[in-house]
Structure 1
Amino acid sequence: MSPDRQDDYLERVKAEIRLEADAARTRAPLPRRDPPPRRPRSTQGDGIERERLDYSIAELSGPHYIAFVDHVFRAVLKRQPDDAGSTMQIRLLAAGAPKAEVIGNLRWSPEGRRIGTRIRGLLPRYVLAKLARLPVIGYALQWGIAFAGLPVLLRHQRAADTSVAAGFNTIADAQRDAGHRLDEVQATLRTEHDRRSDELRGEIRRLQLRVDDLERRAHEFQLRADSLEGRTGAAAHELGELRQYVHAANHWIASLQRSLGDLEEGAAAERDSADAFAASLPEDEGVAAARRERHRAWSAALAERLPQAASVLDLGSGDGAWPEALAERGFDAVGVEANAHLVARAKAGRVAQGDPAAALARCADAGLDAISVSASVLAADPAATVELLGHARRALKPSGWLALRCEREPHRLAAVDGDATRWSAWLAATGFQTPAIVRDGDAAIVLARRGAGGP
C-alpha cells in the first residue's frame, strides 16, 4: 500500500472514531474545557484564505474526488480551479495516482512556486509518488511500501471493526429511542383521537336535536302557510279593488295638478296685467315735481346721518326715482322692485326685478350702511313685517340706519298705510333706536338707527 493511501485510510478511521466519540459525549456528556478561540482568517467571500500559506498534508487530503481537487486549488494556488487544470488532476486520480502527487503537481507548478505555499510532509511523499512511476524501480518501490505498511493496515482494520461495531450500537440505541418516542406519540394520538371522537359525537347529538327542532318549526310554518293561503284569495281581490282606487286617485291628482298649474299661470298673467296697468297710470306733473323735491329733502336728511359713498339698499323702488335721488347724494344705492314694468322704466343697473323681502333675506350680516323700505313693501301680515324688520337689523352695520318711506306712490294700485307714527312705534318695538319722523305734508320718512343689542 502506498503511503498516501495509508494516510487516506488512517484519516477516514480517525474521522469515524471522532464521530463515535461525539455521539458518546452526546449520550453522556462530560465536563470539558472549551478550546481557545481561533483567530479569524481573512477571506473575500469566496472561501479562499488568501493570507494563509502554511498547511499540513492531512488538511489538504481530507476531501475526495472533485471536492479534493477544488480544495487543493483554493489552498495552494489561491483561486478557483480552471476547467483544463481540474480535468487533468481528476484524470490522474482516476488512474490511481496518490493525492500527494496531485498536491505536489500544483505546489511545484510555475504558479505554485510563485505563490510559495508551505505544505508540511509533502516533499518526500511527492518524490516517492514520482519514483513509483519508473518502470522497474517504481514497481519494487511500491512492493516495499506495501509490505512495510502491512502492520499499519492491520491496525487500521481492527480500528475500523471497532468503529463499525460502535456505529451499530449507536444505531441500535437510536432505534430503541425512536421506538419509545413512537410509542409515546401513538399513545398521545390515541388519547387525542378518543377525545375528539367524544366531542364529535356530542356535536352530532346537538346537531340532531337542532334538526329535530327545525323540522318541528317547518311543520308549524307549513300549517301557518296553509292558513295564510286561504286568506290570500280575499286579499288579492281587495288588492285589485284598491289598485283601481289608486289609479283613479292618481288620475284625479294629475288633473288637480294641471288645474293648479293653470290657476298659477292665470294668476301670474293677472298680476302681470295689473302691474302693466299700474305702470301705465299717468302722474300729474305737479305731484311728480313735489315728489322729486320731497326725495331731495329726505336724501339730505339721510346724508346727515351716513358717511360718504354709503351703501344703501332700497326695497320697493317703483320707477327708480328714490334710488336716483340717493345716487345724486353720492350714495352707492341700488333698488329691488317686484313690478317688471316699473323696473323697465328705471335707470339701467339701478333697480333689479325681484321680491324685495327675499332679496333682503339674502344679504350678508352687517354689510349695509342703510336700508330704505317703501311702506308698500310691508305686508298686511304682522309676522311677515316683523320678520322683514329683523332681517333689516341683521343686514345693517352697527351704525346703520333704516329709512321707512310713507308716501302715496303714483304706480301702486293698493292703498298704502302712510301712518308714520304707527310705523315709528313698530321700529321701536323691533329693536331700532328712537325713530325720527321727517314729514312733508301727508308724506313722511321715518329714520331709525340700528339698535346696539342682538344681531
Structure 2
Amino acid sequence: MNNQTTEQLLDAIRREAAQLDIKTQPEPQPLPAEESPGQMSFEQRLRLPSKPAYHYREFLQFDDEAFVRNAFLCILQREPDPAGLQSYLNKLNDGIEKQGILAELSGSEEAKRYGVRIRGLKGYRMIARLRRIRTLRPVAQRLLGLYRRICELPNTEEMNQYRANILQQLSWMSRQLQAAEHLTELSRQQVEQLKQQTGKQGEDNALLREENQTLSKQLANLSHKIAYQHQALATRPSIPAEPNSAKAPAVAPAIDDSDVSAFYVAFEDACRGTREEIREKMSKWLSYLTAANTGSNRVLDIGCGRGEWLQLLGENGYAATGLDINPVMVNSCTEQGLTASLDDALTWLQRQPDASLAAITAFHVIEHVPFELLLRWTTEARRVLQPGGVLIMETPNPENILVGSHTFYHDPTHRNPITPTLLEFLAEYCGYADSELVRLHPYPEEAKVSGNDPLTERVNGHLCGPQDIALVARVPEAEAAE
C-alpha cells in the first residue's frame, strides 16, 4: 500500500499516543513596543526559529497565510510562490487539516533535500495513503477519527489503560487489512494468469467478482469493528483523577457488550449471505401476508437485522417496523430509510392496542431467547394481531441431524433448538388457528448419499433434509364477528 503497511500505521499511532505530553516551542515574541509593527518583516513578527526538527503542534498557533508561510520557510527553506500560497490557502478554506498540509509539504521531493523533520505526522501520512484506495476510504476516515480522539485523551493511568485497549483493537484491524490487501493482490495475479492462459473474459470476470465479494465482506467486518470502537470511545465518560488517592491495581479490561455486538455483526456478514441472497429467500413470505387479507398494512419484524425483509415489505406497500437489540443493525436500517428501533420486543408489543397489526415476523430469533419469553411473545402477538393476521417464526430445524448436532452451534448466541412439535403446540395453546409448519432450505442434491432404496432415502432425509422450519399461525377470522 504505497510502500506503507497498515501495521506501520498502528505503530505510528502508538508512538504518537505516547508523545502526547511533548512540549512545543514557545510562541514567537514580537519585537519591543518602540519598534513600529508596520516596519517589521514577517520573519521578525511571526516566523518560527530555524531548526532541524519540529513537532507539528508548533505550527498550529498560526492561521491562514502565516501558517502557510511558516510551513514553507521551515520545511522548504523558502518563501511560498504566489501560486503555492494561494493553493494552500484554498485547501485551508476547504477544510483540509493543517496536519495534512504539513504532511504533504514534508513528504515532497523538495523537502527531502533539506531533511527537516516534522514529528507527529506519520499517522496522518499513512491514513492519507489509505484514503487513496477507494475501497478503504471509509475505513481510513474512521481510523482518522479514532486517532484524533486518542490524541485528545488525558495522560491518566485509567485513560492510558483504555488507550492501550483501543490500540490493541486497531492492531487486530491492521492485520485483517493486510490480509485483505494480500487477497486483492492475489486476485489481480490470478485474473492476469487466467487471461494469459485461456483468454476467456467471462471466466476472468467471474473470478474477479468472487474475489471482490470476499474482500468486500472483510472490509465490511472491519468497518463494523471500527464503528463500535469509535462509538465506545466517543461515549465513554471521563473519570477525573482523585488527588492523593492510592493507585488501583492494574486490571485487564473487560469485554463489554460492544465487543460481542461487533463480533456478531461480522459473523452475520461472513456466514449469513449477501443482501440479495437474503431478499430472494424471504420474498416467498410475501404471499403469506397477502393471504392474511386483514385490511391493515402494519407489520412488525422482531430481530430485523440488516433490514432485507423490512425493505421488501416497504416495496410491497406495508408499513413495516423493525426491532433489534444490536445498535449497528438498527443504524444500518435507519440509514436506508427504514423504520427500526433499539427496543425490547415484549415491551413494544405491550404498548400496542388490540387487533392493530396485520402480521408479526421473527426470522431466526426465537432460538436466541428463553422459552418463557417466547411464550409471552406468542401470547402478546395473538392479542395485537387482527382477525386473519399471521405470525411467522422461522428457526433452525433440529429434524436435520447435521443442524441439530452441529450447524446450530455455529452461532454462539443460540440457546437450544426448538422442535416442530413444540412450535405447533405453542400456536394451539395460545389460541391460533390454521397453523402450519413450512420446511425450508434442504441441502443440495449433490450432498445426498447416492441410492434409491428406502434406507438411503431415510438417511438422506435425516442428514440432507430441510435446514430450517417456520411456524405460520393465524388469528381466527371468526373473531371479526364476535
Same fold (TM over 0.5): no
Structure with higher Rg: it is: 1
TM-score by length of 2: 0.35
- Give the TM-score, by structure 1 length: 0.37
Task: Give the number of the structure whose residues are more often helix, by fraction.
Answer: 1
